[in-house]
Structure 1
Amino acid sequence: MQIQRKTLAQEVAERLIEGISNDEYTIGEKLPIESELMKIYGVGRSSIREAIKILSIKGILNVQQGVGTFVVAKNAQESLESQMNKAEIQDVQEVRSLLDSKIAAKAAMNRNEEDLKNIKKYLDLRTQYAEENLSTECYQADINFHLAIAEACGNKLLKEIYKVATKHILNSFEIRHHNNTDSFKISQKIHTDLYQSIENGNAEKAYIIAQKIVDQIY
């Protein structure tokens, strides 16, 4: 396996973490402006911006547009995906319950024609694979249907959180349904209703239907 070389941005990020750990930059303190950081670390603007982005994602820095970049933690927060890997499936399902309705409602308000084509494509594949009892393909089509709705909602953060959750939802399908697609055939109509409510721009109806799907009220 080839050893991956660190980028300049990764090296700067590590040096910033070291500085934060050594209290060169304390929690609540504002980092020097970009031009100063470029001089301190001897790199270009793009490397500084990427390093700050890396540490923002890790929860160490907080970028406030027009104000500056602030230190908010000494240690990288455990990633969402790592936390979900350790979570019970009931906890993941609860996260989905909180997200699905909101995402569906926002998708009804923000979707475009390309979004609708994508959602419909996976809805049709879900039907096809369920009828053919192709379980793996059916489960993935269901996941892709809901991901397409998340893509249409217009909120990138919601979409990314949902994307992490779906990996665990797919695992739960495999455990609960034992390579069977009967319940997917039964729930196809309500999934079609969800698509139609999004197509019609009916956010309230999309919200209610999405919640019924999560609660398995068919």
Structure 2
Amino acid sequence: MNATLGRGPLVPQLERLLRDRIATGTWTAGQRLPREADLAAELGVGRSSLREAIRLLVHDGVLDVRHGVGTFVAEAAPAPDVETVLRRARLLEVFEVRRALEVEAARLAAARARPDALDPLREALRERDHRRGGDLAEFVAADLDFHAAVVALSGNPILVSLFASVRPQLHAALVELERHERELPDTSAAHDALLHAVEAGDSDAAIAATTANIDVVIAALRPEADR
């Protein structure tokens, strides 16, 4: 695999790589990209992953597919369309609710969780790490299993019920983010820190780890004028 591609979902990484090549002038407006087979071989990836990344860039107006001719860099970089703006606004609302719920759950989990009750949380984090780089929907499900385990350790049945009720929206939002958003950093370190904070009974550290995980996404989704 290309050295610039790391662990984690492959399609978003390919999308960012292709965008970077356009932004840095490797491919200029109106220029035809290399053939799909040649580009996939150069990057060391499967053609299906590359094709999905190209499809996303075509959807955003960055690339233009001319059937029977090839794929070209669009003549002008488009401004965000109304659909993109509305999608980000909807996702932002989901993550604002998530923040309010999970910060309190993490605080309570660190304060209340018994040492002999932490094995499910540790196992959930191991499973999340194992799923990184694999099927996107399965990775997101494993990620939410970890957060559900934190909420369960809060000992608050209402928080548990609230998390269960919003989980389908969270799953859909996270999958959509990984497929469409750019420059979302890996938050594995924040997940590790949250586990360590709960193990140590450190509520302040648990809050900090939770906000580190969620706030980076909220910042990416907010309109530039509000950042």
Is 2:124–2:145's contact at 8 Å kept on the other side of the alignment?
yes
Output the CA distance in 2 between the equivalents of 1:216 and 1:127: 19
User: For 1:193-217, what per-residue CA distance to the aligned partner results, in whole angstroms no more than 9, with x for missing partners?
Assistant: 1100000000111011111111127
Output the CA distance in 2 between the equivalents of 1:216 and 1:190: 11
Counterpart for residue 121 of structure 1: 123
Q: What pairs with 1:52-67 in structure 2 (closer than 5 Å)?
A: none
Q: What pairs with 1:15-54 in structure 2 (closer than 5 Å)?
A: none
Give the secondary-structure state (helix, strand or coil) at the position aligned to 1:215. Answer: helix
CA RMSD of aligned residues (A): 2.4
Q: CA deviation at 1:179?
A: 9.5
What residue identity is the alignment partner of 1:95?
V
Counterpart for residue 190 of structure 1: 190
Give the secondary-structure state (helix, strand or coil) at the position aligned to 2:216. Answer: coil
User: For 1:66-102, what per-residue CA distance to the aligned partner results, in whole angstroms no more than 9, with x for missing partners?
Assistant: xxxxxxxxxxxxxxxxxxxxx9333221111111111
Q: What pairs with 1:75-154 in structure 2 (closer than 5 Å)?
A: 88-130=90-132, 132-154=133-155
What residue identity is the alignment partner of 2:178?
H
Output the CA distance in 2 between the equivalents of 1:137 and 1:161: 22
Q: What pairs with 1:156-167 in structure 2 (closer than 5 Å)?
A: 156-167=157-168
Counterpart for residue 212 of structure 1: 212
Q: CA deviation at 1:136?
A: 1.8
Output the CA distance in 1 between the equivalents of 2:187 and 2:197: 16
What residue identity is the alignment partner of 1:189?
A
Counterpart for residue 179 of structure 2: 178
The two structures have a TM-score, normalised by structure 2, of 0.52
The two structures have a TM-score, normalised by structure 1, of 0.54
Q: CA deviation at 1:183?
A: 5.6
The answer for unaligned runs of 5 or more in structure 1 is: 1-86
What residue identity is the alignment partner of 1:157?
I
User: For 1:87-129, what per-residue CA distance to the aligned partner results, in whole angstroms no more than 9, with x for missing partners?
Assistant: 9333221111111111101000111245311111111111111
Output the CA distance in 2 between the equivalents of 1:164 and 1:92: 12
Q: Which runs of 4+ in 1 moved over 3 A?
A: none
Work out the number of aligned pairs and report it.
Answer: 128
Is 2:94–2:173's contact at 8 Å kept on the other side of the alignment?
no
Is 2:184–2:216's contact at 8 Å kept on the other side of the alignment?
no
User: For 1:17-59, what per-residue CA distance to the aligned partner results, in whole angstroms no more than 9, with x for missing partners?
Assistant: xxxxxxxxxxxxxxxxxxxxxxxxxxxxxxxxxxxxxxxxxxx
Q: Decide which structure has the larger Cα Rg and report it.
A: 1
Identity %: 21
Output the CA distance in 1 between the equivalents of 2:120 and 2:170: 20
Q: Which has the higher contact order (CA 8 A, sep 6+)?
A: 2
Output the CA distance in 2 between the equivalents of 1:183 and 1:128: 20
